Structure 1
Amino acid sequence: MAELFQFELVSPERQLLSEQVLEVIVPGTEGEFGVLKDHSPFMSTIQAGILRVRREQGAAADEYFVRGGFADVATGGLTVLAEQAVPVADLKVEHLDEQIKNAEEDVADAKDTETLRKAQDTLARLIDIRESMKKI
């Protein structure tokens, strides 16, 4: 049976979560990754997406919309420092529309290929999240 580990989810506005959890799925910039107790230490940047937190075996995951920041997997657990973090239950389509508008501006303002690619990826992810919210 999997064991619990300490997880912290922090945004500039507040600490959203600080508790023992079973598993966290993080939208890393190199792809989603899952963290369980005693995961090997590493750091990753995160991209716009849904972070999933499972508190106990068989329970549904709590979901948080995150955008930007870092995930730090250490021997003491996992800390996610997100530029933005909102529980999906509190997320409004209007908020995503604003994020999409900002991402479209980032695409238009991109000065090089790498910046353009990152901005396009963020825009696509935000549109996907908005569309999946409309289906709920």
Structure 2
Amino acid sequence: MSGTFKFELVSPERILMSEPAEQVVLPGAEGQFTVLSGHTPVVSTLLPGVIHATLTASTKGIYINGGFVEVNPESVTVLAEHAFIVDEADPRMLEAELEKAETALKSADDDEALRHLTSAIEHLKGLQRGKAA
């Protein structure tokens, strides 16, 4: 599998995705970053946003509400509490996710939580606009 690596997306309940990938773009805490095969090992915090995964057979956008990533030369593992495939999201689901984030924002009590939830709300509103177009 020259030029590819194992991409896994894991939630507390199950493995949501495990496929060979050519490239993954991640919403890191310091900004987006791209991972290719052979990447230097790194562990990073992920902000709410969309992962853009170029798989061997397709490209997928995956919304996560934040999490962590472990990158190794032959694999990328994303740990996210909640995730969904953008193309599979319906307007009601997006609205429910947005309501949860807005409710949590009202009770956020520190700068990191405010930044995290504000980012989630911005991304979810962007996804809603994309579905409405």
Alpha-carbon distance in 2 for matches of 1:118, 1:17? 24
Distance 2:112 2:51 in 1: 25
Count of residue pairs brought into register by the alignment? 132
Percentage of matched positions with identical amino acids: 35
Specify whether residues 126 and 61 from structure 1 end up closer, same or farther in structure 2 by C-alpha distance, changes over 3 A only: same
Note the 1:23-102 alignment, pairs <5 A. 23-56=23-56, 60-102=58-100
Q: CA deviation at 1:8?
A: 1.0
Structure 1 length-normalised TM: 0.83
Residue identity matched to 2:99: K
In structure 2, relative to structure 1, the CA distance for the partners of 1:121 and 1:85 (3 Å cut) is: closer
1:19 deviates by 2.4
For 1:81 and 1:112, the matched residues in 2 are separated by 23
Determine if the alignment matches structure 1 residue 13 to structure 2 residue 13.
yes
Using structure 2 for the length normalisation, give the TM-score.
0.85
Which structure 1 residue ranges, 5 or more long, are not aligned?
none
Distance 1:64 1:117 in 2: 20
- What is the Cα-based RMSD across aligned positions, in Å? 2.0
Name the structure 1 match of 2:116. 118
Q: Contact conserved, 1:48 with 1:126, CA < 8 A, in 2?
A: no
Q: Relative to total residues, which structure has the larger strand share, 1 or 2?
A: 2
- After superposition, the Cα gap between the structure-2 partners of 1:113 and 1:78, relative to the gap in structure 1 and judged at 3 Å, is closer
| Residue type at the aligned position of 1:46 | L
The verdict on how the C-alpha distance between 1:75 and 1:88 changes in structure 2, with shifts beyond 3 A counting, is: same
Distance in 2, Cα, partners of 1:80 & 1:112 = 25
